[in-house]
Amino acid sequence: MEPMQPILETRGLCKRFGFVEAVKNVDWQIYPGQVTALLGDNGAGKSTLIKLISGAYQADAGEIWVRGQQARIKGPVDAFNLGIAPVYQNLELVENRNVMLNMFLGNELTHGPLGIFLDKKRMADQSSQVLQDIHSRIPDVRVPVAKLSGGQRQVVAVGRALVRGGDIIILDEPTAALGVEQTREVLRLIETLRANGKTVILISHNLSQVLEVADWISVMFHGEMVGTRAKDQVSRADVVSMIMGTKADDLAMA
Ligand SMILES: Nc1ncnc2c1ncn2[C@@H]1O[C@H](COP(=O)(O)OP(=O)(O)OP(=O)(O)O)[C@@H](O)[C@H]1O
Ligand SMILES: [Mg+2]
């Protein structure tokens, strides 16, 4: 069998803030159509790494490759154009606007000669279709986001990423603020995204959730990538010691 080609790869990626080396020489491969979890203690560099990939930050050194080509990601728009769609923890939703307008926020469809009228019909159709594709239980795209649960808000934020054509969906701590039932909803959403052929990067502190949904587990420690393991080839104890800073290679030797 041919070795799988990564859809996204970083080579020697570095980012420092003053004296803090937040991301240190990170080589990382992300495989298409799979869920890769990114774990690591507070301050390990996880959010910084995905912000580099998503164009929110510029790397000090290193390369990002997407679908086999070196990418020039100078800002979020470049990342979006490559299908890279981050969903940050604050979700960036507008409370008093409805689901459909939030999904098209900053990207509204218009009609009329000058394009000054919102094309609500087309936005409603497209957003409903996207929500249907991810088996969302949000009944009506005209409900204001203020009325939704935390899990449903996560769905809307992911829906926005999909509406924009995202196919590498990055979720930073999507279940951190959620209860049990809503967490289940988000885990189901991740599985649905994978079933629909999307590539998912999931940042999480919750090892049980990660072991439930991820195909690959990557661990960072103090800005470095400790290693990436196939989920079914790693034990919970292995992952814990990687999070504590034990090199994956040492584990393999042990
Ligand atoms: N904008 C910034 N300015 C200065 N320092 C920063 C900035 N962003 C991150 N850092 C520092 O970089 C390091 C990595 O932070 P980062 O947020 O990437 O960690 P993380 O793994 O996402 O942590 P957490 O699990 O707490 O979200 C930390 O030492 C943090 O204080
Ligand atoms: Mg973070």
Ligand nearest to the backbone CA of 43: 1
Tell me the CA–centroid distance for residue 172 and ligand 2, in Å.
7
What is the predicted pLDDT for the residue at 107?
82
Q: Which two tokens stand for residue 185?
A: 């909803």
Q: Which of the four pLDDT bands, split at 50, 70 and 90, describes residue 137?
A: confident
What is the predicted pLDDT for the residue at 3?
66
pLDDT of 70 strictly over 70: yes
Ligand nearest to the backbone CA of 221: 1
pLDDT tens digits, one per residue of 187-219: 999 999 999 999 999 999 889 889 999 999 999
pLDDT of 106 strictly over 70: yes
The protein residue whose alpha carbon is closest to atom 1 in ligand 1 is 17
pLDDT of 128 strictly over 90: yes
Q: Is 151 in the pocket of ligand 1 (CB under 6 A)?
A: no
What is the predicted pLDDT for the residue at 181?
84
pLDDT tens digits, one per residue of 227-243: 999 999 999 999 999 99
CB 181 within 8 A of CB 151: yes
Domain map (residue ranges) of the chain? 8-253
Q: Is 48 in the pocket of ligand 1 (CB under 6 A)?
A: yes
117 forms bridges with which residues in the sheet? 111
Q: Is 44 in the pocket of ligand 1 (CB under 6 A)?
A: yes
Q: Is 45 in the pocket of ligand 1 (CB under 6 A)?
A: yes
Torsion of CA 214, 215, 219, 220, to 10 degrees: -80
The residues, ordered by sequence, that sit 6+ positions from 187 with a Cβ below 8 Å of its Cβ are: 175, 209, 212, 213
Q: Give the mean model confidence (pLDDT) for residues 108-133.
A: 87
Q: Is 17 in the pocket of ligand 1 (CB under 6 A)?
A: yes
The protein residue whose alpha carbon is closest to atom 31 in ligand 1 is 43
For 12, phi then psi, to 5°, come to 60, 35
What is the predicted pLDDT for the residue at 72?
94
Q: Give the mean model confidence (pLDDT) for residues 11-22.
A: 97
Task: Select from 13, 23, 48 the residue to mutate for testing ligand 1; criterion: most ligand atoms less than 8 Å from CB.
Answer: 48
Q: Radius of gyration over alpha carbons of the chain, in Å?
A: 19
Q: What is the 3-state secondary structure (H, E, C) of the chain?
A: CCCCCCCEEEEEEEEEECCEEEEEEEEEEECCCCEEEEECCCCCCHHHHHHHHCCCCCCCEEEEEECCEEECCCCHHHHHHCCEEEECCCCCCCCCCEHHHHHCCCCCCEECCCCCEECHHHHHHHHHHHHHHCCCCCCCCCCEHHHCCHHHHHHHHHHHHHHCCCCEEEEECCCCCCCHHHHHHHHHHHHHHHHCCCEEEEECCCHHHHHHHCCEEEEEECCEEEEEEEHHHCCHHHHHHHHCCCCHHHHHHC
What is the predicted pLDDT for the residue at 37?
97
Q: Is 51 in the pocket of ligand 1 (CB under 6 A)?
A: no
The residue to which tokens 């394009």 are assigned: 115
Q: Which of the four pLDDT bands, split at 50, 70 and 90, describes residue 97?
A: very high
Q: Between 180-195 and 150-163, two packed helices, what is the crossing angle to 10 degrees? A: 20
Ligand nearest to the backbone CA of 41: 1
pLDDT of 79 strictly over 80: yes
What is the predicted pLDDT for the residue at 224?
96
Q: Give the mean model confidence (pLDDT) for residues 112-141.
A: 88
What is the predicted pLDDT for the residue at 251?
52
Q: Is 61 in the pocket of ligand 1 (CB under 6 A)?
A: no
Domain 8-253 coded CATH 3.40.50.300: yes
What is the predicted pLDDT for the residue at 1?
53
